Amino acid sequence: MSRARKPDWLKSRPPSGQEFAGIRETLREHDLHTVCEEANCPNLGECWSGRSGPDGSDGRGGTATFMLMGDRCSRACNFCDVQTGGMGALDPDEPENVADAVAEIGLDYVVLTSVDRDDLPDQGAGHFAETIREIKARHPGILVEVLIPDFQGEPKLVRKIIDAEPDVIAHNVETVERLQFPVRDRRAGYEQSLSVLEQVERESDIYTKTSIMLGHGEYDHEVYQTLADLRERGVDIVTLGQYLRPSRDHLEVRRYDHPDKYETWRRVAEEELGFLYCASGPMVRSSYKAGELFVDAVLREGKSVAAARADARRTEPRQTES
């Protein structure tokens, strides 16, 4: 499959504005990292500036996804722009610094993610959990979403995150089963990621979420199968977005799908397969404002995760073959 050319309609606005500058200054003061910057997210300007998203959703103010445990990763996924190797010791003050930054920025919904830290005895699960607890202790009304590594599929480490009681636990399957490598590091894997999501659904009353990148050369029937596999494991929320090549050293983009195709996948996910929510579009990323607004609305109206799932099951259409 040949390399695709970037279409004219795939554009993002450059970061600007007072909100953007204020968030960046706060992060620098507390020596914190965000996946927004480290992974060159195309929505950085939109989210940090508090503008409305491409789907028309109303921005409630600047948001940012904090990246824990440094800015260097123990894995080398071929789609990701985060640097590999040379990880340092964990900063014991980071949980408190993140909680301070959350207060200064004025967030009521915070997203935490991290690099992979396979070099640590618990792969950073304890540090992740401590940050969740620190935020919740200082800001009882805040909603916390976490995008976690796979912790090499070790249930006791996933359990540490569950026990910290975030409101959403996300883990990205990233791509279809056939393309897991070369897209992801060989220590990752399709079934391993599914097992993490399934454990969260089985052992807790916490929303589960994942993300799929399109444009690596996947076929439609493979995307459908991935969505079906995720629903079979009980995943509640899914996002689909266009892979954008960070540099010439990364995997080439094989295809750019038109926004209409993403809308088709949204309908398949929500109306046919029964996901509670699907954000789908070329510029959608796993930490995406539309998904956060959905979770915020459901939880703040007092509806439990179990109730939302029950509502979805009552209205879920019968699955059909793709």
Amino acid at 303: K
With bands split at pLDDT 50, 70 and 90, how would you rate the model's confidence at 2? low
Mean pLDDT across the chain: 83
Integer Cα distance of 314 and 274 in angstroms:
10
pLDDT of 80 over the 80 cut: yes
Q: What percent of the chain has pLDDT over 90?
A: 57
Integer Cα distance of 7 and 9 in angstroms:
6
pLDDT of 109 over the 50 cut: yes
Q: How would you class 151 by CB atoms within 10 Å of its CB: exposed for 0-12, middle for 13-18, buried for 19 or more?
A: buried
10-58 pLDDT, tens per residue?
765 555 455 555 666 766 676 665 555 544 555 444 544 443 343 434 4
Pairwise pLDDT comparison (264 vs 4), residue with the higher score: 264
When mean pLDDT is compared across 8-22, 210-224, 242-256, 288-302, the lowest value belongs to: 8-22
**Structural domains present in the chain:** 18-315 (3.20.20)
Taking residues 89-102, report their average pLDDT: 94
Taking residues 296-322, report their average pLDDT: 68
pLDDT of 237 over the 60 cut: yes
Integer Cα distance of 212 and 142 in angstroms:
27
With bands split at pLDDT 50, 70 and 90, how would you rate the model's confidence at 85? very high
Integer Cα distance of 68 and 289 in angstroms:
20
Residue set of the binding site for [4Fe-4S] cluster: 36, 41, 47, 73, 77, 80, 287
pLDDT of 261 over the 70 cut: yes
Pairwise pLDDT comparison (297 vs 114), residue with the higher score: 114
Q: For residue 262, what pLDDT is reported?
A: 96
The DSSP secondary structure of 230-287, one letter per residue, reads: HHHTT--EEEEEE----STTSPPP-----HHHHHHHHHIIIIIS--SEEEESTT--SS
Taking residues 200-222, report their average pLDDT: 96
- 83-84 and 72-73 beta bridge pairing: parallel
Residue set of the binding site: 36, 41, 47, 73, 77, 80, 287
Q: For residue 121, what pLDDT is reported?
A: 97
Q: For residue 21, what pLDDT is reported?
A: 59
Integer Cα distance of 140 and 161 in angstroms:
18
Q: For residue 320, what pLDDT is reported?
A: 44
Q: For residue 33, what pLDDT is reported?
A: 59
With bands split at pLDDT 50, 70 and 90, how would you rate the model's confidence at 319? very low
Q: How would you class 302 by CB atoms within 10 Å of its CB: exposed for 0-12, middle for 13-18, buried for 19 or more?
A: exposed
Sequence-separated (6 or more) residues with CB below 8 Å from residue 32: 66, 94, 97, 98, 101
With bands split at pLDDT 50, 70 and 90, how would you rate the model's confidence at 189? very high
When mean pLDDT is compared across 128-132, 273-277, 296-300, the lowest value belongs to: 296-300
pLDDT of 286 over the 50 cut: yes
The enclosing H or E element of 214 equals: strand 207-214
pLDDT of 9 over the 80 cut: no
Please check whether residue 48 is in contact with residue 64, taking contact to mean a CB–CB distance below 8 angstroms.
yes
135-154 pLDDT, tens per residue?
999 988 888 999 999 999 99
Q: For residue 61, what pLDDT is reported?
A: 44
Please check whether residue 182 is in contact with residue 251, taking contact to mean a CB–CB distance below 8 angstroms.
yes
Q: For residue 93, what pLDDT is reported?
A: 96
